[in-house]
Amino acid sequence: MKARSGWTFLSNHAHVLVALAGDPSLRVRDLAFLVGITERAVAQILNDLEAEGYLEKERVGRRNVYVVHADVPLRHALEMHRTVSDIVRLARRRSK
């Protein structure tokens, strides 16, 4: 059996959180490019994450800056013992 191409282990929600943890001032356009989804999809994800308490949006001048709440537990029953910081730590690139 051949595996389907294009799937990843982390969801787009996780990708957005990891990106914002690395750079809280990323624009929706930048997030869409990094994650590989539309700007509309990013806006929906940002709304989801904010509504569930995973991040909050702060206005700084003409831009939004996002505060990621790293201590919030993950949503799925298999992962509820882990927090956002665990995902960010896992996905963070190591600098050499």
State the pLDDT at residue 93. 66
Nearest to 66 by CA among 93, 84, 91, 40: 84
**β-bridge mates for residue 64, sequence order:** 59
Predicted structure pTM score: 0.88
State the pLDDT at residue 41. 98
Angle at CA of residue 88, ends 87 and 93, nearest 5°: 120
User: 12-91 in CATH: which number?
Assistant: 1.10.10.10
State the pLDDT at residue 67. 97
Q: Could you list the pLDDT tens digit for every one of the 96 residues in the chain?
A: 877 777 888 999 999 999 999 999 999 999 999 999 999 999 999 999 999 999 999 999 999 999 999 999 999 999 999 999 999 999 886 544
Domain range summary for the chain, segments of one domain joined by +? 12-91
